[in-house]
C-alpha cells in the first residue's frame, strides 16, 4: 500500500502562464484552483488503489452517491510556502495526515496512510509548483485534501467506496483587511458540536452547522463566529474555522482545552509550543465567556487572537452579540499577537530557524 504508484496525466490545457501569474499576484482565498488534482480510490475489498494525478475538473458523480445524502466527508487544510531560493515547503504534514486519519475514524471512512497523504502533496506540487506564489504578503498555495463517500447506494451505512482527492488554490490573507483586528459574533443561540459528537473531526457537517450563525455574524459586521459549549453555553470553544488564544496583563496566555468538541488545530499546537519556548506560561483549560467579558472590560485580558492554517494568526478587536459589544479601544494588533505571527510565518517562509523540525520540503 505504501508503495502505491501515482499515474500522472498532464492537463493538456493548463492556465496560460500570464493568466496564472495575474492570479497569483493578488489571490482571493479559494477563488481559483490549480491545473491538476490528485485522486486515490478506496474500496472495501481492495483497500487504497488507483492513485492518479489528473487535470483539474468536475467530479462525475451519481446522484445516489452517499456523500450527497449522509454527509460522510472529511477534509484538511495545509499550505505550500515558497522560500527565497525558490524551493517549496509545507508545514507539519504528518500532523495533518494523522488528523485526517482521526477524522476518518470518527466518520467511518477509511484511514489514508500518512505516506500516501504526503506523497499526494508532493505529486500535486510536482505538476502545479508554478502556482505557489512568491513569499510576500502572506501569499501561499492553500491545499485542500478531502475524502468522500463515493458509493452509489441510498442505504444508511458506512460507504464501501471512498475517494481521497487533493485540490489547491493560491491564497493571500484569509481576512481581506490584512492584519486589522477582526470582529467576532458570539453564537448564543446555536452550537457547533456537542459531547461525543463530531466536533473534533474536520468534517463538512460541522461547517454547515456554523453557517446560520455566520450569516447572523455577517449581518452584524462580524467576520467569524465564536461558539460556546453546547450543553451550558458557558465555556468558549472556538471560531467556525479557527482556535482562540487570550493574553493576560501579567503575560500568561490561555486557550480552551481540547475536550473532544473542538478541532485539534495544528497552528494551535504550534503556537502553544512557541509560547512555551519563550518561557511564558500557557494554560490549556476551560475558559468561560464571563471571564473573557469581564477580563477585557477590566483590562486583565489585553490581547485576543485566532489561529488556523487559513487565518495564520489574526488579532481579534471585539466580540459582539445581541447582548452588546466588548472590545479593545486600540485598533492595532497586540504585541504578543504580532510577534508570534512574525515568528510562525518566519518559520514557514524559511526566514526563522525551524528548531522543531516542522518544515517538510516538497520540491527544490
Looking up cell 487559513, which residue turns up? 310
Q: Alpha carbon 208 to chain centroid distance?
A: 15
Across 184-198, b (16+ Cβ under 10 Å) vs e yields bbbbeebbbbeeebb
Give the bridge partners for 89, in sequence order: 81, 361
Sole window of 63-71, 84-92, 117-125, 302-310 interacting with ligand COI (rule: CB under 6 A) = 302-310
Q: How far is the CB of 294 from ligand PLP (least distance, A)?
A: 25
Neighbours of 235 (CB within 10 A): 21
Asked if 183 is part of the footprint of ligand COI (rule: CB under 6 A), the reply reads no
Work out which of 198, 214, 309, 348 binds ligand COI, going by CB under 6 A: 309
* Contact of 178 with 42, CB cutoff 8 Å: no
DSSP 8-class letter at 152:
B
The residue (of 71 and 77) whose beta carbon lies closer to ligand COI is 77
* Gap between the Cα atoms of 149 and 127, Å rounded: 27
Asked if 308 is part of the footprint of ligand PLP (rule: CB under 6 A), the reply reads yes
The residue (of 82 and 268) whose beta carbon lies closer to ligand PLP is 268
Asked if 310 is part of the footprint of ligand COI (rule: CB under 6 A), the reply reads yes
Asked if 308 is part of the footprint of ligand COI (rule: CB under 6 A), the reply reads yes
Asked if 241 is part of the footprint of ligand COI (rule: CB under 6 A), the reply reads yes
* Gap between the Cα atoms of 50 and 336, Å rounded: 47
The residue (of 14 and 170) whose beta carbon lies closer to ligand PLP is 170
The residue (of 174 and 328) whose beta carbon lies closer to ligand COI is 174
Give the bridge partners for 15, in sequence order: none
Sole window of 127-135, 262-270, 288-296, 313-321 interacting with ligand PLP (rule: CB under 6 A) = 262-270
* Gap between the Cα atoms of 243 and 256, Å rounded: 8
DSSP 90-114: EE-HHHHHHHHHHHHHHTT-PPPPH
* Gap between the Cα atoms of 364 and 82, Å rounded: 10
* Gap between the Cα atoms of 341 and 312, Å rounded: 7
Work out which of 55, 71, 77, 260 binds ligand PLP, going by CB under 6 A: 77
Mask of contacts with ligand PLP, 215-254, x by CB under 6 A?
Answer: -----------------------x--xxx-----------
Asked if 309 is part of the footprint of ligand PLP (rule: CB under 6 A), the reply reads yes
Q: How far is the CB of 265 from ligand PLP (least distance, A)?
A: 3
The residue (of 301 and 310) whose beta carbon lies closer to ligand COI is 310
3-state secondary structure of 217: helix
Contacting residues toward ligand COI, per CB under 6 A: 77, 241, 308-310
Amino acid at each position: 500500500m505504501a508503495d502505491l504508484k501515482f499515474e500522472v496525466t498532464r492537463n493538456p490545457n493548463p492556465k496560460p502562464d500570464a493568466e496564472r501569474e495575474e492570479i497569483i499576484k493578488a489571490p482571493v482565498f479559494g477563488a481559483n484552483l490549480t491545473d491538476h488534482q490528485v485522486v486515490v480510490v478506496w474500496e472495501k475489498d481492495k483497500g487504497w488503489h488507483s492513485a492518479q494525478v489528473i487535470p483539474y475538473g468536475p467530479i462525475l458523480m451519481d446522484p445516489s452517491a452517499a456523500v450527497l445524502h449522509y454527509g460522510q466527508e472529511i477534509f484538511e487544510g495545509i499550505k505550500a510556502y515558497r522560500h527565497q531560493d525558490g524551493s517549496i515547503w509545507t508545514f507539519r504534514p504528518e500532523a495533518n495526515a494523522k488528523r485526517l486519519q482521526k477524522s476518518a475514524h470518527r466518520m467511518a471512512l477509511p484511514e489514508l496512510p500518512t505516506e500516501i497523504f504526503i506523497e499526494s502533496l508532493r505529486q500535486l506540487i510536482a505538476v502545479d509548483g508554478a502556482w505557489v506564489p512568491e513569499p510576500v504578503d502572506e501569499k501561499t498555495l492553500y491545499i485542500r485534501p478531502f475524502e468522500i463517500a463515493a458509493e452509489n447506494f441510498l442505504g444508511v451505512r458506512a460507504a464501501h467506496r471512498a475517494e481521497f482527492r487533493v485540490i489547491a488554490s493560491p491564497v493571500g490573507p484569509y481576512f481581506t483587511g490584512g492584519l486589522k483586528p477582526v470582529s467576532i459574533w458570539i453564537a448564543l443561540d446555536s452550537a457547533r458540536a456537542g459531547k461525543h459528537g463530531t466536533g473534533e473531526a474536520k468534517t463538512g457537517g460541522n461547517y454547515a452547522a456554523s453557517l446560520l450563525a455566520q450569516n447572523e455574524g455577517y449581518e452584524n459586521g462580524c467576520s467569524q463566529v465564536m461558539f460556546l459549549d453546547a450543553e451550558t453555553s458557558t465555556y468558549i470553544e472556538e471560531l467556525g474555522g479557527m482556535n482562540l488564544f487570550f493574553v493576560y496583563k501579567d503575560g500568561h496566555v490561555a486557550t480552551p482545552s481540547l475536550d473532544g468538541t473542538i478541532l485539534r488545530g495544528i497552528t494551535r499546537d504550534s503556537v502553544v509550543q512557541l509560547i512555551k519556548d519563550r518561557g511564558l506560561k500557557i494554560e490549556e483549560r476551560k475558559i468561560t465567556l464571563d471571564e473573557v467579558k469581564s477580563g477585557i472590560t477590566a483590562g486583565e485580558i489585553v490581547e485576543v487572537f485566532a489561529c488556523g492554517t487559513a487565518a495564520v494568526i489574526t488579532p481579534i478587536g471585539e466580540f459582539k452579540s445581541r447582548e452588546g459589544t466588548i472590545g479593545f479601544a486600540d485598533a492595532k494588533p497586540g504585541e504578543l499577537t504580532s510577534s508570534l505571527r512574525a515568528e510562525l510565518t518566519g518559520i514557514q517562509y524559511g526566514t526563522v530557524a525551524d528548531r522543531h523540525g516542522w518544515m517538510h520540503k516538497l520540491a527544490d
